[in-house]
Amino acid sequence: MKWIKPSLYFLAFSLPLCLLSAFTAQVQAQSDHSNKTWQISQTFKPPQRGKPPASAGGSTRGGSCITGKKLITPLIPPDKLGLTFAQRPTFFWYVPASKVKTAKFLLLAEDQNVFYETSFPLPNKPGIVGFKLPDSAPALAVGKTYHWYLTIVCDAQDSSENPTVDGWVERTQPGSPLSEALAKANLYKLPSIYAEAGIWHEALTSLVQLRRTEPNNLKARLDWRQFFKSVGLSAIASEPLIDCCTSKNSPPN
């Protein structure tokens, strides 16, 4: 294969001058394309861990204030446990159209005591919403698992009418090789690195950031769909991203 490079140089010098710059740009573009490791398919690979405890009884996905057939859906892996490196990670849900505009978020520690709770207003239209634990919330401890609940307040007096979903979050720490890879990565590479490592919250958060930064990027859209498909969430992959949500307990910016 040693003849390839000389042949390319011969071809370049044999081209008319007006085409030389176009030829050079095409070769460079092909080289750049081959070096973009972020183009690996965004398939989430869950870590090999024990499953979290079973959900508490009484949780429901329906409710009198939900309109239409779609249900509130947490964006979490099939085993309902999401790993994070963050002290205060971001949680995501698909929230359908509803007659009410308030949701409650509850986070329990391993001893079942309330670790953090708040409420926030819901958007006026259905879609995927995210809630980041504010700076006023306590930081998650490394190696601890927390049980969270999201409730849409249909009826403030009768909680049985309030649709609720739940899941778990556990904070962990990256090893040295992963830390080095993350430090060198740009926004395009981050989703693949997190997804390969099984770090759910940062994998999804970085994909959301990429979608918001480059909404017309076809590769980002395809990776988004592949990521959702890999965890059984294809049904909501086409739902819009909605700007939301800020805790009512958070101080104003």
| Each residue's pLDDT tens digit, 76-92 | 999 999 999 999 999 99
State yes or no: pLDDT of 67 exceeds 90: no
As a whole number of angstroms, the distance between CA 104 and CA 120 comes to 7
pLDDT of residue 29: 41
* pLDDT, position 62: 54
Q: Confirm whether pTM is higher than 0.75.
A: yes
131 C-beta neighbours (distance < 10 Å), count = 20
The phi-psi region of residue 231 (left if phi > 0; otherwise alpha if psi is between -120 and 50; otherwise beta) is alpha
Instruction: Please determine, for residue 106, whether its predicted confidence score (pLDDT) is greater than 90.
Output: yes
Q: Are 239 and 113 in contact (CB under 8 A)?
A: no
Arithmetic mean of pLDDT, 86-99: 93
Q: What is the pLDDT of residues 189-204, one digit of tens each?
A: 999 999 999 999 999 9
The residue length of the chain stands at 253
How large is the average pLDDT for residues 97-118? 92
Rounded CA separation 248/216 (Å): 33
Task: Give the pLDDT of residue 52.
Answer: 57
What's at 87, amino acid-wise?
Answer: Q
Looking at the predicted structure, is the pLDDT value of residue 187 above 70?
yes
Confidence (pLDDT) at 98: 82
The pLDDT score that the predictor gives to residue 64 is 66
- What average pLDDT does this structure show over 118-128? 91
Round the average pLDDT of the chain to a whole number and report it.
80
Mean pLDDT to the nearest integer, 147-161: 87
What pLDDT digit, counting tens, does each position of 232-242 carry? 999 999 999 99
Query: What is the model's pLDDT at position 61?
Result: 52
pLDDT at 3 (0 to 100): 45
